[in-house]
Amino acid sequence: MRALVLEEKLRLSMREIELPMNMGPRDVRIRIARVGICGSDVHYYKHGRIGPFVVNEPMVLGHEASGVVTAVGDEVQGIAPGDRVCMEPGIPDMASRTSREGHYNLDPSVRFWATPPIHGCLTSEVIHPAAFTFKLPAQVSLAEGAMVEPFAVGLYAATKAGIKPGAMAVVIGAGPIGIMVALSALAAGAGQVVISDVSTEKLAIAGEYPGIHPFDIRGGSLAERVADLTAGWGADVVFEASGSPRAFENIFDLLAPAGTLVLVGMPPGAVSFDVVAAQAKEARIETIFRYANVYSKAVALLASGKVDLKPLISASFPFEQSIAAFERAAEGRPADIKLQIVVEESAR
Ligand SMILES: [Zn+2]
């Protein structure tokens, strides 16, 4: 199987690699169409590890994929060859206690694409459980299908926030995930969303969406801006999506009494925050790890036209130019939100 392989830190190759292709009765076989490059893929490329997950042997990258089904196992229902699909990249052990208690995304034995030692999906074909494969309606392109994975993070954050209609939300960080969170907050009923960053380019892209108000924190105080917009009340929900330890300084100044803080970004290490400031507002603090049970909802929002992720696809590269795509992603151009690799050209 031809694949983009991370041989070791800073060394990629396009080459043949043997991948497990045994198909069970509840699996489907999928020809990969498009794969988005995620910050985590780039992090493995540049550093060879994320926390305890270390690339010790060659690993196929990629986990944000769409494709076309070519075969289904005997027990599969509702998915047929020819169906266009996107795939949830983490396969938990559904018999584990964590899964049985309703938290399959936290299952310690989850096999997640392109998290060492599990191979990713930047290859021509994969076998995947039907239960984690989602049909795309005709109006959702395969390019959009490959955006469902990062969108799922935003949707899960908005779900855990418990956003009420008309709520005021703040998103700290206008990277790909921050923008996905802002769009999800709007889709969940937020009346307005303020998104903050220090990148003029990213704020401009986020600000193209009606309802999203960009705020450059180099130009003033975010807390003052939020106070202005809410007559001093504060935001009902604050999403921390930058992962910057500095974002935690005075973060509760942004929040309305009994508001909710959702921690989405992953800081590089431990951070401290003002507990008493949180208590004084009885802040509710939620965290997320990846997502659970949001893929079909994400697809439904794309199908309805309520959320348009197409403006976030900054560029796409042919499969054979995957290494160039990763080099560009590693540059971190400020106007690049999502880069995609077209694995199968003929697939729409
Ligand atoms: Zn991702």
The string of pLDDT tens digits covering residues 127-144 is: 999 999 999 999 999 999
Residue 220 Cα to ligand 1 midpoint, Å, equals 31
Residue 222 Cα to ligand 1 midpoint, Å, equals 28
Residue 164 Cα to ligand 1 midpoint, Å, equals 27
Cis amide prior to 117 (ω within 30 degrees): yes
Residue 55 Cα to ligand 1 midpoint, Å, equals 17
pLDDT recorded at residue 89: 98
pLDDT recorded at residue 348: 53
Residue 272 Cα to ligand 1 midpoint, Å, equals 27
Strand partners, 69: 30
Residue 292 Cα to ligand 1 midpoint, Å, equals 14
Asked which of 47-51, 71-75, 253-257, 307-311 is least confident by mean pLDDT, the reply is 47-51
Please list the alpha-helical segments (H only) found in the chain: 39-47, 97-100, 142-145, 148-161, 176-187, 200-207, 222-229, 275-280, 295-304, 322-331
- In the predicted structure, residue 347 carries a pLDDT above the cut 70: no
Residue 70 Cα to ligand 1 midpoint, Å, equals 24
Q: How many CB atoms lie within 10 A of CB 270?
A: 6
Residue 176 Cα to ligand 1 midpoint, Å, equals 10
Q: How many CB atoms lie within 10 A of CB 4?
A: 30
The string of pLDDT tens digits covering residues 205-250 is: 999 999 999 999 999 999 999 999 999 999 999 999 999 999 999 9
What percent of the chain clears pLDDT 70, i.e. is strictly above it?
Answer: 99
pTM here is 0.97
State CA 67 to chain mean position distance.
18
Residue 136 Cα to ligand 1 midpoint, Å, equals 19
Residue 227 Cα to ligand 1 midpoint, Å, equals 33
Taking residues 181-197, what's their average pLDDT? 98
Residue 174 Cα to ligand 1 midpoint, Å, equals 15
Residue type, 24: G
Taking residues 244-261, what's their average pLDDT? 97
Specify the 3-state DSSP secondary structure of 182.
helix
Domains of the chain in start order, with CATH, are 2-147+309-342 (3.90.180.10), 154-287 (3.40.50.720)
Residue 40 Cα to ligand 1 midpoint, Å, equals 7
Return the closest-CA partner of residue 242 out of 179, 298, 155, 327: 179
Q: Mean pLDDT across the chain, nearest whole number?
A: 97
Residue 226 Cα to ligand 1 midpoint, Å, equals 30
Residue 65 Cα to ligand 1 midpoint, Å, equals 10
Residue 282 Cα to ligand 1 midpoint, Å, equals 32
Residue 151 Cα to ligand 1 midpoint, Å, equals 9
Alpha carbon of 299 to those of 68, 116, 140, 312: distances in Å? 16, 28, 8, 16
Residue 114 Cα to ligand 1 midpoint, Å, equals 10
Residue 138 Cα to ligand 1 midpoint, Å, equals 24
Residue 95 Cα to ligand 1 midpoint, Å, equals 25
Residue 134 Cα to ligand 1 midpoint, Å, equals 17
DSSP 64-129: EEEEEEEEE-TT--S--TT-EEEE--EE--TTSHHHHTT-GGG-TT-EETTBTTB--S-BSEEEEE
Residue 305 DSSP label: T
Residue 119: Cβ-neighbour burial (10 angstroms; 0-12, 13-18, 19+): buried
Residue 191 Cα to ligand 1 midpoint, Å, equals 27
The C-alpha atoms of residue 340 and residue 35 are separated, in whole angstroms, by: 6
The C-alpha atoms of residue 252 and residue 220 are separated, in whole angstroms, by: 17
Residue 61 Cα to ligand 1 midpoint, Å, equals 11
The C-alpha atoms of residue 174 and residue 156 are separated, in whole angstroms, by: 17
Alpha carbon of 33 to those of 93, 296, 311, 318: distances in Å? 27, 19, 19, 11
- In the predicted structure, residue 345 carries a pLDDT above the cut 80: no
The string of pLDDT tens digits covering residues 14-66 is: 999 999 999 999 999 999 999 999 999 999 999 999 989 999 999 999 999 99
- In the predicted structure, residue 254 carries a pLDDT above the cut 70: yes
Residue 89 Cα to ligand 1 midpoint, Å, equals 9
